[in-house]
Amino acid sequence: MTVPEHLAAGCPYPGRADAAPLYGPAVSDDPHGLYARLRAAHGPVAPIELEPGVEGWLVIGYQELLELTRNEQQFSKDSRYWRVPREGRLRPDSPLVPMTMWRPTLQSMDGAEHRRLSAAVGETLGRIDHRLLRETTEAAALALVESWGPDGTADLVAQFTRRLPLLVFTMLLDLPEEDGPQLLAMITGMVDSGAESQRAAAAFAGLLGRLVAERRARPGDDLVSWLLAHPAGLSDDEAVHNLVVLLVAGNESTINWIGNTVRLLLTDRRFRTSLTGGRATVADALDEVLWRDPPVQNFPGRWATSDTVLGGQYISAGDLLVLGLAGANDDPAAHGPEGLSGNRAHLAWGAGRHVCPAKDPARLIVETAVETLLHCLPDLQLAVPPHELTWRQSPWSRALVSLPVLYSSFTPPRPAAYDPAGQTQPAPLAPLTPFERTAWTPPPPRGSAPTGSTPPEPTSSPRTSGSALADLRRRLSSLAGWWSGR
């Protein structure tokens, strides 16, 4: 490769005094200002430090990020190319280790192995009935709101956004009821990154290992059984590691997306007025957040397999390149003449072959959660001035530390049907939950369509009573109550 003369005359990244730290308050308090300064000083690819003494590159150009994610021969997902740990410069206890270590997952693979694991995970997620997922999410949201105290105050981060995805995941895994609180405690311990995080991670892997072994022996109608039954033939170890990626990464992204969307609705008068006036929807707010404050603002990464040039910067073999998802969304080249409205060309989910496989169920969970919250608490408002809200100091997540709110009225999410026996039953035509152990019927092959007036085959049996939904709501209320100390 011929290196341009102006680059060859300079030095490669290590030791550059103009590298910006991608940690601390700069990246949490004013990330958009940071990305603008980096773009002005360095262009679409900027030198950074991920922690003191550990260098990298932040790709904040829209087209450059697309090039990075589409060229896996030059920019691999395999972190074993990274020269920093090979040179002994990564501490064993570095917080970068969990985010960059190689595992047998779709996140760490290229080529045929990535396609195999991606197909298994993507098609497993595709078996989730979206109508049933919406019902489950609504029940979880209602259970959480009902578990709050009577004083009309709540912290939406601690009491809603951090809990709702985990409640839904316990249902998707069809865990025994007594294992639900354990799962919630383990994932919370891992995400909090406290002194017990390593122990929580080991316990979580152990729980998933036991669950995989059980479903291998006795398959059911749940996410784990579907993954194990996929023709890709995942080993137990592959299944456990990919489930960890799905549950931990999916949990964190969903938490942040819910919180950032509610914050937008409560702090942006223009948007809140449009929403209540019927000129905008929660879906519009979700897209606004994905452009401006995506739940994952930066993501590692890609590793250069050989020396190259990207965005005018000389990249050495083994360098780490971080996907600046929020920064690339800020790139003026990404915005059309009409701005961001109605435009889903953002890079919040990544790009190329490694685009997030869970974006559709994640969107449904977040949209349902926000809609249910706003319906149940129509006068919801911030309990503090907007400028007092603080962000977690994370280079990866765009997440609020807390979101204190006030409310005075509660509206049930849907009318209940009257039962003469005195029991409240769900409204007619409520969908079957996916956790009733009914047989799953695959959809018809691609390209086939029902003829005449014959309706398409359903992917689950029709509901004949409200008992399953009532049981689901009871289980979710029990978990929410456990978490609230009741």
In tens digits, the chain (486 residues) has pLDDT values of: 444 444 444 444 455 778 999 988 888 889 999 999 999 999 999 999 998 999 999 999 999 999 999 999 999 999 999 999 999 999 887 888 878 889 899 889 999 999 999 999 999 999 999 999 999 999 999 999 988 988 899 999 999 998 898 889 888 888 776 676 777 677 766 655 545 666 777 888 888 999 999 999 999 999 999 999 999 999 999 999 999 888 877 888 999 999 999 999 999 877 776 666 666 688 889 999 999 999 999 998 899 999 999 999 999 999 999 999 999 999 988 776 555 545 678 888 888 888 888 889 999 999 999 999 998 998 899 999 999 999 988 888 899 999 999 998 777 655 443 333 433 333 332 333 333 223 223 333 333 333 333 333 333 334 434 566 666 677 667 666 666 665
Give the domain ranges of the chain.
Answer: 5-440+456-483
pTM of the predicted model, to two decimals?
0.81
CA-nearest of 188, 121, 147, 85 to 354 is: 121
Strand partners, 339: 336
Give the homologous superfamily in CATH for domain 5-440+456-483: Cytochrome P450 (1.10.630.10)
pLDDT of residue 23: 87
pLDDT of residue 293: 94
Q: What is the end-to-end Cα distance of the chain in Å, rounded?
A: 65
Amino acid type, 117: L
pLDDT of residue 212: 95
46 φψ region: left (φ > 0), alpha (ψ -120 to 50), beta (else): beta
CA-nearest of 259, 303, 311, 310 to 285 is: 259
Please tell me the distance from the alpha carbon of residue 123 to that of residue 136, in angstroms, as a whole number: 20
Neighbours of 103 (CB within 10 A): 16
Q: What is the DSSP string of 29-58?
A: H-HHHHHHHHHHHH-SEEEEEEETTEEEEE
pLDDT of residue 63: 95
